[in-house]
Structures are given as C-alpha cells and as structure tokens.
Structure 1
Amino acid sequence: MNKGKKKGQSHSTRPPVTVAPKWVQYSPEEIEMIIVELAKKGYTPSMIGIILRDQYGIPLTRPVLAVKLQKVLEKYGIT
C-alpha cells in the first residue's frame, strides 16, 4: 500500500489578514519606490518580495499598498 498522498499537507498557511501590520515603518509611497528601485536592478517580483520581507521587515505588500506587487510594477511600466 502506498501512502504517498498524505505527504506535504502539514505546511503552515498564511492567515487572511487585510490590515497592514503596525510595525511596518515605511509609507506606501516609500514601499513603491523601493519596489521600483529593486526592479530596475533586475530582481524578479518573487525576489523583491523576499528582499522586502527579510531586509525591510515588510511581510506582505498587498495589505500595505492595497494592490499586488505585480500591479505596482505595471503601474511604473516595469514587467
């Protein structure tokens, strides 16, 4: 009997929070400029999200900016 279908189901899930965290010290305009600068350096959207999380302490851009990171890049003509 193969029980391979049960593997990988114990991962954590992100809570459905729509409010920006209180500890984020950057304004939405500052976050947009950081995103644009990182995109101009050649980072992909996934890498930009990781850098924002690890170096700037911004867990998610959507609650802070009310749009996805990809929409910010499209707004500035970077895709």
Structure 2
Amino acid sequence: MARMHARRRGIASSVRPYRKEVPAWSNSDVKEIEGKIVELRKAGLTCAQIGLVLRDKHGVPNVKLATGKRINAIVRENDLDTDIPEDLRNLMHKALMMRKHLEQNRKDLHNKRQLQLTEAKVRRLVKYYVGTKRLPLGWVYKPETAEILLSR
C-alpha cells in the first residue's frame, strides 16, 4: 500500500497476531472489562489510552475479542463519547502545535509543508465524519477556532 502524501511504498510495521478467540491466559470477563472501560473513561482517558491500560495492567490483549465490541462502541453505549472523534482531535492538536511553532519560526519551510499535509488529513477526516453523521452537517475545520474546540 502506498503512503498518503508520498509516491513510495512502505509496509514495515508491527502486526498484532491473528486470533479468532481469546487466549486462555487473558482476562475475559465481559462485565468486568466493560466496567473497567467505563471507569477509565470517566477518569478522563482516551480510547487508545484505555486499550493500553487494559493490555498492560489488566491482562486484556484485545478488547474486541474479549467482549465482541470495540472500546469506542462501549464508550458510546454509556454516553461517554466526546463530540469530536479521537483521531480528528489528535490531528487538530498536531496542526495547532505546528501553527504555534510557525509563529516563532516563520522560515521553517518543512514544517509549513507538513502543516499543509496535516490540515489536508483533517479536512479529509471531517468530510468522512460529516458523511457518516458523526459530526453535524456543515461542520468545517477552521484553524482559528481549533484551539477553542480542543480546550473543551
């Protein structure tokens, strides 16, 4: 598969082992796992952080195998979801930090190009989330208001 903003290929990455069933050594109590997810979400952790905590501290290598649902689905069922999806929020934060860097370093052309690519990804994700009705119709990314949105 090709890179998004380059004309080269690359497949090097770590891959999780393919499994269809929960390992025997793992914690597979569905109620306990869902309760822990809700508890961690109320503590302010993101879905990615919840997955890491469950893997490292509670012996759950894969929540979807153990519960049949993804962490995000469990969070949505319990009405603990944020108004902006996590991946979009992370990209917006990255773009915001690049803008702050560019205010002090105006001649940093590499960062300027990377900012353009990151904001293109943000706009692409916004289009997807508006199409899937995860964001309201007419929602537009504006760099000026991104800091206000992220502070919520």
Q: Provide the C-alpha distance between the structure 2 equivalents of 1:60 and 1:14, rounded to a whole number of angstroms.
A: 10
Identity across aligned pairs (percent)?
Answer: 31
Residue range with higher mean Cα deviation, 15-24 or 53-62: 15-24
Alignment correspondent of 2:30: 28
Shift of 1:11: 2.2
Q: Provide the C-alpha distance between the structure 2 equivalents of 1:18 and 1:77, rounded to a whole number of angstroms.
A: 29
Count of aligned positions: 75
* Superposition TM-score, scaled by structure 1 size: 0.82
Q: Provide the C-alpha distance between the structure 2 equivalents of 1:70 and 1:9, rounded to a whole number of angstroms.
A: 27
Alignment correspondent of 2:64: 62
Q: Provide the C-alpha distance between the structure 1 equivalents of 2:13 and 2:72, rounded to a whole number of angstroms.
A: 25
Contact 2:22 2:28 in 1 (8 A): no
Q: Secondary structure at the match of 2:39?
A: helix
Structure 1 consecutive aligned stretches of length 4 or more whose deviation exceeds 4 Å: none
Q: Which has the larger Rg?
A: 2
Shift of 1:26: 4.4
Structure 2: which 5+ residue stretches go unaligned?
A: 1-7, 82-152
Q: Provide the C-alpha distance between the structure 2 equivalents of 1:17 and 1:64, rounded to a whole number of angstroms.
A: 11
Aligned-residue RMSD, C-alpha:
1.7
> Which residue of 1, 12, 15 maps to 2:14?
12
Structure with bigger helix share is 2
Q: Provide the C-alpha distance between the structure 2 equivalents of 1:19 and 1:43, rounded to a whole number of angstroms.
A: 27
* Superposition TM-score, scaled by structure 2 size: 0.45
Q: Secondary structure at the match of 1:30?
A: helix
Q: Is the aligned partner of 1:44 residue 2:51?
A: no
Residue range with higher mean Cα deviation, 22-31 or 57-66: 22-31
Q: Which has the higher contact order (CA 8 A, sep 6+)?
A: 1
